[in-house]
């Protein structure tokens, strides 16, 4: 298990994320794109695939690489709808690989997530992230 709980600097977060992704990318069920995004297909969909300029409705759960949940539409009890080109690059790229009804797990390197700035108190600078995403609808 890779832990960022004791990471005290952006450099440590980056090193932990890179080590996690290097190990994760060796698994048979993980696909790594040219950008470094990794994904696992949990369930295939059979509907439309979004383009970067579409709005999407999704259910999702976001965690740090050591499993701490920082956001979840499931916990809020309602899916989220947003323009796909207004989210982190890892989501914009990854969701375009999906079809409506699909469930994927994204392993997002820091540079495709919040980069050096981080986000909030839980996502530190240079943090890799994991998202379980269910694509419900493309508009």
* Backbone phi and psi for residue 32, each to the nearest 5 degrees, phi listed first: -115, 125
Query: Could you confirm whether 88 is annotated as catalytic?
Result: yes
Residue among 2, 108, 114, 136 flagged as catalytic: 114
Q: Using an 8 Å Cβ cutoff, are 60 and 72 in contact?
A: yes
- Give the residues across from 32 on adjacent strands: 38
Query: Could you confirm whether 106 is annotated as catalytic?
Result: no
Query: Could you confirm whether 114 is annotated as catalytic?
Result: yes
C-alpha distance across the termini of the chain, in Å: 38
Tokens of 2: 């890779």
State how far the Cα of 43 lies from the Cα of 101, in Å rounded to an integer. 8
State how far the Cα of 62 lies from the Cα of 70, in Å rounded to an integer. 6
Residue among 2, 20, 104, 131 flagged as catalytic: 131
Residue among 2, 4, 20, 88 flagged as catalytic: 88
Query: Could you confirm whether 66 is annotated as catalytic?
Result: no
Write 77-80 long-range contacts (CB < 8 A, 24+).
79/136
Residue among 60, 104, 106, 107 flagged as catalytic: 60
Which of the residues are catalytic? 60, 70-71, 88, 114, 131
């Amino acid at each position: 298990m890779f832990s960022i709980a004791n990471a005290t600097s952006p450099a440590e977060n980056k090193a932990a994320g890179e080590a996690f992704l290097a190990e994760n990318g060796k698994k048979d069920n993980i696909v790594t794109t040219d950008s470094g995004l990794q994904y696992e297909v949990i369930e295939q969909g059979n509907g439309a695939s979004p383009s970067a300029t579409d709005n999407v409705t999704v259910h999702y759960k976001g965690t740090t690489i050591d499993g701490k949940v920082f956001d979840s539409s499931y916990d809020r009890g309602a899916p989220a709808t947003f323009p796909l080109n207004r989210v982190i690059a890892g989501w914009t790229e990854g969701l375009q690989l999906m079809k409506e009804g699909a469930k994927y797990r994204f392993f997002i390197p820091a540079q495709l997530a919040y980069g050096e700035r981080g986000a909030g108190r839980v996502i530190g600078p240079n943090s890799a992230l994991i998202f379980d995403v269910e694509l419900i609808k493309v508009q």
